[in-house]
Structure 1
Amino acid sequence: MSKEETFQDLSLNSPSGQQDLWRWLYTELRAAILDRRLKPGARMPSTRSLSAQYSLSRGTVVAAFEQLQAEGYTRTEVGSGTYVASGIPEGFLSATRKPATPVGTASKAAISKHAQQFLKDVEVMPAPHSVGKAFRSYEPAIDLFPVDLWARVASRVLRRAPRSLYGHGDAAGYQPLRRAIAEYVGASPGVRCSAEQIIITSGTQQALDLISRLLVTMGDHVWMEDPGYLRALQALRNTGARIVPVPVDEDGLIVKAGRKLAPKAKLAYVTPANQFPMGVTMSADRRLELLRWAASANAWIIEDEYDAEYRYAGRPVAALQTLDSSGCVIYVGTFTKMLFNALRLGFMVLPERLVDAFRSARSIIDLHPPTLDQAILAEFITEGHFGHHLRRMRQIYAERIDVLKTAADEHLNGLLDVVHTGAGIRTLGWLKTWKSDRDATQKVRKLGLEVSPLSMFTVKYEQPPALMLGFAGCNPAELRRGVSILATALRAR
């Protein structure tokens, strides 16, 4: 029996109705090669005989043969024909057809022990299929974002953009955007900086990751507000830092406690304008005390101002960075909470001596931030749309916290004491009849609401049971509906 006749005895699966015929033939022949039904060195049939046998066009068979040769499964000898390649390893399994008895040993390669340690507490946030759901705490009022205006700005930028904007970008970020940010943070929270001190990041999380990588060595002590921002804790812990939970009171982080616990800590993470999640503002005395400690300990301070622009009485609080005379504060901001979640653009304001190192590190991670998105945002800011949107949102969010507080006082009296916060996009509700905020959260989530227990943000210092409630992204009707459901859930013990 000839080699070609041997091949004709192979049973090939019938093609599915949705599959291209050339791909079906390629897949079946590849499976036969990998399963050793076609031995290395065996001569393949002619394209003419295959066309006749399976009622295929010559072009279809040629396309399948060309793909097999391109991927190294076959070789062609001029004047002789096409042969199965000899170098395919024994036991290499087909992705489409597994042999009855697996050959070889499954790989035992695994992620590192260090990664296993820090990943065990990481919760991946699922992509929501709706907006404005009570009481989602991380979402601004996406439904009120001026999409048409953004689209017009984007269209104009894309039409007029020089071809250089489609090329390799600056690792530090688009220069016009950095200038716009320097003017914005200088006018509002009073940050003192030039455009050259700004590094554009993919949101706050990348900024925290960069800071952790460059400024923290494994084993370094790091002060962390307790309770505090969980993803900052995870970013710092990822580098092998020894987290030092420092308690928080009505004046913010208790610096004296930090000095007692770890006087030579390398870094402190704080949210001074609107402490996450307690919502308090760090007092002037504490700010000065924290800066004095950092200067004496040669430590760094991360000032995370994730939603500092949203204050509903008076002007935004001046940044801690404005008081820094020793150059130890790194100011971190984001546009995610101020515009919309999908805009993964944030920034750091760095002391001048850190700029070159961070620019180099930023280039290693992903070369540079997306230039066209930066160009659109730069125009959005410089044309005044950003400032107008913030002013409008301050008014709307102030109205929404009023709605939430009024509805809570009416329907949740004796069950949940909702704080009438003066800043931010979320608040706390102190539980009155539940001892465990995690049990209450589980009960409430079963009814479709999105709440978080305060205890999930604590490390060492326990707090009374409370629920985190987002209000900025919910319209008044949804807030009232959410309060009604909350009342039902919290009454049903």
Structure 2
Amino acid sequence: MKNTTFKDAAVLDIVLDRQARLPLFEQLVQALREVILAGRLEPGSKLPSTRKFANELSVSRVTVVTAYDQLTAEGYIESRHGAGAFVAAGLPDEAPQVSKPFLLETKDPQAPRPLQPFQPTSPDMTLFPHKQWAKLFQRVWTNPDQNLLANADPLGWWPLRVQIAEHLRVWRGINCQPAQVVITSGASEALQTIIESMLEPGQSVAIEEPGYRLFSRLLNRLHLRVEGVPVDEHGMRVDLLAALQHQPVCAVTTPSRQYPLGITMPLARRLQLLEWTTQAGRFVIEDDYDSEYRYVGQPLPALMSLAREGSVIYLGSFSKVFSKSLRLGYMVIPLARLQTVRQVMKDNGPNASGFAQPVLAQFMASGAYASHIRSMRRIYSARQKVFVEAAQKHLQDLIEFEPAGGGMHLVGEIGKKLCGKMSDTEICQRADEVGVILRPLSESYNGKPARQGLIAGYAGFDENQLNWAIKRLARALTKQT
């Protein structure tokens, strides 16, 4: 094929896949790089304006600008002030060459994206003590306990339940028996088990608004009424429960660190919520979200530690330490409910990892689990500081982030330069185009959103990644103001 300019750009056949895990700007970088290396654009050829090219590809201008910036940095194109962008005269000596058939054969279109800043709630697994875990795994499964090979208890591996009960006593002030601890594959299985064993279709459940949308979707799927309760600076508005159209028998709350706003419910509000449960049949599901990571002051004891027997069911998770791939969580159930829960879990079959449970039990017994949490507290606290300082420097008047006393993510307010011009959803779409992941606060509402904002995770990324992503996001958003 003859060399070409963008006067007949259609022959280049650049097609971007919006379903791919690779961000659009990176797809465009790869496509243009290959076109240039193949000689289909000769040195000195003028590239189209970013606006025109964006229109041709049906993408935002930011996508093209970011791709051009990347190719300029790599030496493939050069920018001339007032004239535009051109294919560079001297191309890089070594350029990556990719076999397209190989890509087509090996790409999994359903595979999740690699971890990208600022995906919320993602721990940094590069800092996990993998060698210690591997040694314990080998020790456990080289000569396994015969009980591991027998029919598994649907409530989980007993030594792990013992370790969790001790952990809750020391860290969360909960005095429970190991028999009350039930191992699950995570919050979804825990909530589904509670619903199937303790609630009836058509009953009402109160959830926080905004809150964890997975819970509301699961409740709807299991034919329960979902009643959204607004959250103020102290957490769920318990005083509004009595005014709900359909009186709930259960309230789901995240008192340690409300998701997504990061509010800690004070003692007075906790006692008010427990008072609500004194009417027969009412109970609270306490999702102890992010309780591991508190950076300022002493954490309040878990709600369950203050409650009368049977009024609170406690949900815990290991996903903030091990990532969700471990598929292990737990709940603490009142003794009176255990037999019903056992039957439901037996009927539904095992979901929690049977291979990981005995290894985790030894990991906790060795003290490695507690040590790792303490270490990550220091690291995540420092990363939050880096994130906030970078955001305040580069995102001023675009997105406003303030420090928090704990957690793995922050919620930013839309700044005055973007307020009224872009919604939180549009900002997230723009960020995604340049390889930065934000979550819109508005999507955390079950009903009509009361406010907008941006949810950004910082814990899973080091200082260089945080600064790089903040600057990239700032450039993308500045071009829109």
What's the TM-score bracket when you normalise by the shorter of the two chains? 0.7 to 0.9
1:288 aligned residue: 271
Distance 1:413 1:358, change over 3 A: same
Structure 1 residue aligned with 2:290, among 307, 318, 329?
307
2:435 aligned residue: 448
Distance 1:256 1:126, change over 3 A: farther
> Is the 2:285–2:314 Cα contact (8 Å) retained in structure 1?
yes
Please say if 1:273 is aligned against 2:260: no
Q: Matched residue of 2:324: which SS?
A: coil
Deviations 1:57-80 (A, max 9, x none): xxxxxxxxxxxxxxxxxxxxxxxx
Structure 1 residue aligned with 2:181, among 185, 198, 216?
198
TM, length-normalised to structure 2:
0.74
1:338 aligned residue: 321
2:412 aligned residue: 429
TM, length-normalised to structure 1:
0.72
Please say if 1:139 is aligned against 2:122: yes
Taking the aligned partners of 2:186 and 2:238, their CA distance within structure 1 comes to: 28
Taking the aligned partners of 1:220 and 1:444, their CA distance within structure 2 comes to: 40
Please say if 1:249 is aligned against 2:232: yes
Cα RMSD of the aligned pairs, angstroms, is 1.7
1:462 aligned residue: 449
1:153 aligned residue: 136
Q: In the TM superposition, what are the counterparts of 1:199-214 in structure 2 within 5 Å?
A: 199-214=182-197
Taking the aligned partners of 2:400 and 2:113, their CA distance within structure 1 comes to: 30
Deviations 1:294-336 (A, max 9, x none): 1225212110013211001233321000111142100000111
Taking the aligned partners of 2:248 and 2:352, their CA distance within structure 1 comes to: 32
> Is the 2:213–2:446 Cα contact (8 Å) retained in structure 1?
no
> Is the 1:437–1:466 Cα contact (8 Å) retained in structure 2?
yes
Please say if 1:418 is aligned against 2:404: no
Partner amino acid for 1:453? Answer: P
Q: In the TM superposition, what are the counterparts of 1:350-429 in structure 2 within 5 Å?
A: 350-367=333-350, 369-429=352-412
Distance 1:422 1:138, change over 3 A: same
> Is the 1:434–1:465 Cα contact (8 Å) retained in structure 2?
no
Partner amino acid for 1:441? Answer: C
Structure 2 residue aligned with 1:236, among 219, 227, 230?
219
> Is the 2:118–2:458 Cα contact (8 Å) retained in structure 1?
yes
1:474 aligned residue: 461
Please say if 1:180 is aligned against 2:167: no
Aligned-residue sequence identity (percent) comes to 35
Which stretch has the larger CA shift, 366-375 or 416-425? Answer: 366-375
CA shift at 1:367, angstroms?
A: 3.9
Distance 1:367 1:417, change over 3 A: closer
**Pair member with larger Rg:** 1
1:483 aligned residue: 470
> Is the 1:304–1:331 Cα contact (8 Å) retained in structure 2?
yes
> Is the 1:310–1:316 Cα contact (8 Å) retained in structure 2?
no
CA shift at 1:128, angstroms?
A: 3.3
Q: Matched residue of 2:442: which SS?
A: helix
> Is the 2:241–2:247 Cα contact (8 Å) retained in structure 1?
no
Q: In the TM superposition, what are the counterparts of 1:313-328 in structure 2 within 5 Å?
A: 313-328=296-311
Taking the aligned partners of 2:411 and 2:264, their CA distance within structure 1 comes to: 15
> Is the 2:327–2:352 Cα contact (8 Å) retained in structure 1?
no
Taking the aligned partners of 2:110 and 2:286, their CA distance within structure 1 comes to: 27
Distance 1:126 1:434, change over 3 A: farther
Partner amino acid for 1:352? Answer: L
Structure 1 residue aligned with 2:332, among 338, 349, 362?
349
CA shift at 1:126, angstroms?
A: 6.5
> Is the 2:254–2:286 Cα contact (8 Å) retained in structure 1?
yes
Partner amino acid for 2:476? Answer: A
Taking the aligned partners of 2:350 and 2:427, their CA distance within structure 1 comes to: 45
Taking the aligned partners of 2:147 and 2:446, their CA distance within structure 1 comes to: 48
1:168 aligned residue: 151
Partner amino acid for 2:449? Answer: E
Q: Matched residue of 1:269: which SS?
A: strand
5+ residue gaps, structure 1: 1-124
Distance 1:127 1:292, change over 3 A: farther
Partner amino acid for 2:456? Answer: L
Partner amino acid for 2:419? Answer: W
CA shift at 1:463, angstroms?
A: 3.4
CA shift at 1:262, angstroms?
A: 4.7
Which stretch has the larger CA shift, 442-451 or 392-401? Answer: 442-451
Taking the aligned partners of 1:462 and 1:468, their CA distance within structure 2 comes to: 15
1:128 aligned residue: 112
5+ residue gaps, structure 2: 1-108
Distance 1:174 1:138, change over 3 A: same
